Structure 1
Amino acid sequence: MIEDEVHRDRRRAVITGWGAITPVGLTADDTWAALLEGRCGIAKINSFDTTGLLTQIAGEVKGFDADDYMPHKISRRMDTYAQYAVAATVQAVEAAKLTIPPHLAPRAGVLIGSGYGPVGSYYRQAEQLRTKGPRGISPFSAITGAMDSASGEVSMMFGATGPTRAISTACATGTDAIGEAARWIQHGYADIVLTGGTDCCVTAVDIAGSSNARALSRRNDDPERASRPFDKDRDGFIMSAGAGALVLEEATGAISRGRNILAEVIGYASTSDAYHWTSPHPEGLGARRAMRNALADAGIEPSEVDYINAHGTSTELNDETEVQAIRQVFGEHAVKIPVSSTKSMTGHMIGAAGAVELIAAGYAVQTGFVPPTINCDTPLDTEINFVPHRPQEWDTRIAMSNSFGFGGHNAVLVIRRWEE
């Protein structure tokens, strides 16, 4: 079969470095440590006046200084979402001990996604135009306000002259970016890809809109307990900011350069519900198909998956639908493995969520521990192990990471412990 030939002949895409900027940590290691501690990064919003907002809590990034990662003359032209992306990529590149010399540059690509993009810059420029007129608009506005500004900045910083792209598929963005980047490597379009997702959409406009759509939790007096994935008392997700970045390499090249391989990307799939802008298909058809297709792409059976990092947003419809979809795809195996949502601690980082959650799945593969779902006091399905409150020691060879977004976007990644 042609499909079998494609699987046999395609190259192996491996992860050699990762980095993260999140509400619970300013590095990937710090973020992982916080997740294992069950530490929550959700709090009262302090970056703007929340008077009149129905939701006044979020997962903001705390203590971040862009100048720790790039010259100020560069950081000042960038929207915060792009600063987060560059910072996370710097971490990932340093972790991978990667340099991109001229002879490798044409085979090095960048694929970084964002759900919302540079919204902070949009709003500031609109206010400048209103108060100061056209002369008040920065000459950098066309750059700063572009959805591809993060990937462009990363490309220029590291000298990657291969394909450079941005991608936007709502909450599935980070997962789609990594999956497509893996395909670039598997099918020979690039040997190295700097990839991931980023967002900084904790703004008055975006909080107001999502809250008015009844998507956000309104537990303003108890922020650390507001994100409650898979709990019967959940009342909405928490908007958050952050970035996750990974270095993907073709396996033989990574080995020849003596890279430490963290995990291998073995499966990826994306689907669309074509059903509703904000509600998942009631039977989870798109989510089911994405999981099944990712397993097929990986060439494995559902019974081989050891851990699922769920999308788990803490919304009424998503959590119920995702659990049903997992049961449909995994059958009896669904109750034999841990299924947790790290959004219970980070909140929902939108375009960054899938990237950071894949990194969390990667740590699970590396360490033998799976992160918890905090605040899961009354689980909606008592047979599934949602890893309530505390991490669990679990031998994880293969992990799945789910991302399901507004607009019916579904994306799933499967990673495996490195085996030569």
Structure 2
Amino acid sequence: MDEQAVITGIGVVCALGRTPDEVWEGLLGGRCGAARIDFIDFAEFPCKSAAITACPTPQDLHISPRDARIMNTHSFLLMESAVQAYKNAAIETAPEITPDAIGFFAGLPMVDYETDDLLAAVLKSSLPKGGLDHDAFYTKGYREIYPLWPLSMLNNIALCQSSVRLKIQGENAVFSAHADSGVSAIAEGIAAALSGRAKIVLAGGVSEKITPSSLARGHIAGVLKSREDGVLSCRPFSSLRCGTTPGDGAGFLAIETLSSAVARGVSPIAAIIGWGRAFGIGDDFCSGPTAAAIINSMSAALSMAGLRPADIGLLIAHGDGTSTGDKNEIEAVNELFKNCPISVISTKGALGNLYAAAAPLDTAVAAYVIKTGTIPPSLYSTPVDEAVRFDIVTENPLQKRVSRVMINCNSYEGQASSLIIERVA
């Protein structure tokens, strides 16, 4: 198509900050957002650290107590980042953008119930010597559960509440639940903007809340940090890697056509010119996509953008610090970018694994790299795995003019996805 999809607003919130500038400064300064988990009982979990965000409160976001009862951490993070992107793109001062012309697309996580939501009902239905009196529960105990509680278990409630707040009435969709879902949300948003189905879209994702249930899922899948080694975060592409570290956060992009941005007098931040997706799983389920799938994903993105591997200056890799996941991505990058002077980083050593929020956060990082000519370091990647045949930026920021950045975001269930971000001429 002759049109180009451009980013005109960014909103992010994660362990390193509550604005894009704060997060960027934290990455350049080599800050790590991970800390010891001290708010839940994690004694039985090998992974004892996470990159926790200072979550906004319902009061901060002007959410009524009634609405807050069916919302949770992921909802608040989504709303804060979406509102940022909305304001930074000057949508609220553009009368030509009507509510039904704004699209909303999000990668959203698994949602766990809170023990306190059910505790009163269980206590009222408990037998004197332990156990649950089911007759008591179904006749009176259940009345202690908030009637709208089941709504809080639906991840799209977060999208709905933010849509109400921002008066968004256009096309929308939710994708779940791993890092590839953030790419799917961005790709669907771009398609809506380029086709004219939406004048402008908000697209991004949010991580899942870090709970005992989410930690249990990660350990069952075999992807979380499996031992303590003096480093609180994960070690992307390091020979000492032993699993990923969870993080929470959210990121949203305001995306529209270049002609729309010019007509509104809004400066485009960067263009998104290609994306690709592929699937492939090895014999060991939950080991991440195969090297072939990652190659296919990156190749599809290059093909859509009409580029060659040598045209990419920086790869923000998925790089989650898992044994098999990193191994397959190393193999894929070695193969596709052989003989190409590409630089590579992963932000997960600093931000933790943000799952559905990873794509928009890394896109924001890519935009800053293109703007400033500076690549932040990949934390805890040394000593680098001896299989690596590309340049991983470690220790200190690298000064390098970059016009195009590729971003990889994978699911540990076999999905691979890639985006390409470009400087706007």
Q: Same fold (TM over 0.5)?
A: yes
Q: Is 1:136 equivalent to 2:132 in the alignment? A: no
C-alpha distance in 1 between matches for 2:15 and 2:150: 29
Q: Is 1:239 equivalent to 2:233 in the alignment? A: no
Q: Are the equivalent residues in 2 in contact too, given 1:109–1:162 (CA < 8 A)?
A: yes
Alignment match, 2:49: 57
C-alpha distance in 2 between matches for 1:145 and 1:273: 30
More helix by share: 1
C-alpha distance in 2 between matches for 1:106 and 1:63: 30
Query: Tell me, what secondary structure is at the counterpart of 1:111?
Result: strand
Q: Which amino acid aligns with 1:395?
A: R
The alpha-carbon distance between structure 1 residues 144 and 397, as it changes in their structure 2 partners (threshold 3 A), is same
Alignment match, 2:358: 353
Q: Which has the larger radius of gyration?
A: 2
Alpha-carbon offset, residue 70 of structure 1: 2.9
Q: Which amino acid aligns with 1:84?
A: L
Q: How does 1:230-269 map to 2 (within 5 A)?
A: 230-269=237-276
Query: Tell me, what secondary structure is at the counterpart of 1:244?
Result: strand
Q: Are the equivalent residues in 2 in contact too, given 1:110–1:154 (CA < 8 A)?
A: no
Task: Calculate the aligned-residue CA RMSD, in Å.
Answer: 2.0
Q: Is 1:394 equivalent to 2:387 in the alignment? A: no
Deviations 1:221-240 (A, max 9, x none): 6343x311010000000011
Alignment match, 2:413: 407
The alpha-carbon distance between structure 1 residues 123 and 254, as it changes in their structure 2 partners (threshold 3 A), is farther
Counterpart pick for 2:174 among 166, 179, 194: 166
Alpha-carbon offset, residue 201 of structure 1: 2.9
Alignment match, 1:286: 293
Q: Which amino acid aligns with 1:115?
A: P
Q: Are the equivalent residues in 1 in contact too, given 2:289–2:410 (CA < 8 A)?
A: no
C-alpha distance in 1 between matches for 2:415 and 2:144: 38
Q: How does 1:250-399 map to 2 (within 5 A)?
A: 250-273=257-280, 275=282, 277-282=285-290, 284-333=291-340, 336-380=341-385, 381=387, 383-399=389-405
Query: Tell me, what secondary structure is at the counterpart of 2:86?
Result: helix
C-alpha distance in 1 between matches for 2:70 and 2:95: 26
Query: Tell me, what secondary structure is at the counterpart of 1:312?
Result: coil
Deviations 1:190-234 (A, max 9, x none): 12111110023311122123224432113446343x311010000
The alpha-carbon distance between structure 1 residues 360 and 75, as it changes in their structure 2 partners (threshold 3 A), is farther
The alpha-carbon distance between structure 1 residues 78 and 102, as it changes in their structure 2 partners (threshold 3 A), is farther
C-alpha distance in 2 between matches for 1:103 and 1:88: 20
Query: Tell me, what secondary structure is at the counterpart of 1:173?
Result: helix
What percentage of residue pairs aligned between the two structures are identical?
Answer: 27
Structure 1 residue ranges without an equivalent (≥5):
1-6
Alpha-carbon offset, residue 319 of structure 1: 0.9
C-alpha distance in 1 between matches for 2:399 and 2:97: 44
The alpha-carbon distance between structure 1 residues 285 and 221, as it changes in their structure 2 partners (threshold 3 A), is closer
Alignment match, 1:106: 100
- TM-score, structure 1 normalization: 0.91
Q: Which moved more, 1:135-144 or 1:295-304?
A: 135-144
C-alpha distance in 2 between matches for 1:346 and 1:293: 27
Query: Tell me, what secondary structure is at the counterpart of 2:198?
Result: coil
Q: How does 1:179-258 map to 2 (within 5 A)?
A: 179-220=187-228, 222-224=230-232, 226-258=233-265
Alpha-carbon offset, residue 139 of structure 1: 3.1
Q: Which amino acid aligns with 1:399?
A: V
Alpha-carbon offset, residue 388 of structure 1: 0.9
Deviations 1:269-314 (A, max 9, x none): 11121556411354x1111111000011111111111111000000
C-alpha distance in 2 between matches for 1:63 and 1:163: 28
Query: Tell me, what secondary structure is at the counterpart of 2:210?
Result: coil
Count, aligned residues: 405
Q: Are the equivalent residues in 2 in contact too, given 1:280–1:317 (CA < 8 A)?
A: yes
Alpha-carbon offset, residue 331 of structure 1: 2.1
Q: Are the equivalent residues in 2 in contact too, given 1:44–1:223 (CA < 8 A)?
A: no
Q: Which moved more, 1:36-45 or 1:132-141?
A: 132-141
Query: Tell me, what secondary structure is at the counterpart of 2:320?
Result: coil
Query: Tell me, what secondary structure is at the counterpart of 2:392?
Result: coil
The alpha-carbon distance between structure 1 residues 379 and 221, as it changes in their structure 2 partners (threshold 3 A), is closer
Alignment match, 1:39: 31
C-alpha distance in 1 between matches for 2:115 and 2:364: 31
Query: Tell me, what secondary structure is at the counterpart of 2:391?
Result: coil
Q: Are the equivalent residues in 2 in contact too, given 1:43–1:223 (CA < 8 A)?
A: no
Q: Are the equivalent residues in 1 in contact too, given 2:362–2:407 (CA < 8 A)?
A: yes
Q: Are the equivalent residues in 2 in contact too, given 1:42–1:223 (CA < 8 A)?
A: no
Alignment match, 2:130: none
Q: Are the equivalent residues in 2 in contact too, given 1:67–1:75 (CA < 8 A)?
A: no
The alpha-carbon distance between structure 1 residues 200 and 382, as it changes in their structure 2 partners (threshold 3 A), is closer
Deviations 1:30-59 (A, max 9, x none): 111111111001111122122222222111
Q: Which amino acid aligns with 1:108?
A: I
Alpha-carbon offset, residue 144 of structure 1: 2.2
Query: Tell me, what secondary structure is at the counterpart of 1:246?
Result: strand
Deviations 1:214-268 (A, max 9, x none): 32113446343x3110100000000111111111112211111111211011001
Query: Tell me, what secondary structure is at the counterpart of 2:409?
Result: strand
Alignment match, 1:152: 160
Q: Which amino acid aligns with 1:96?
A: A
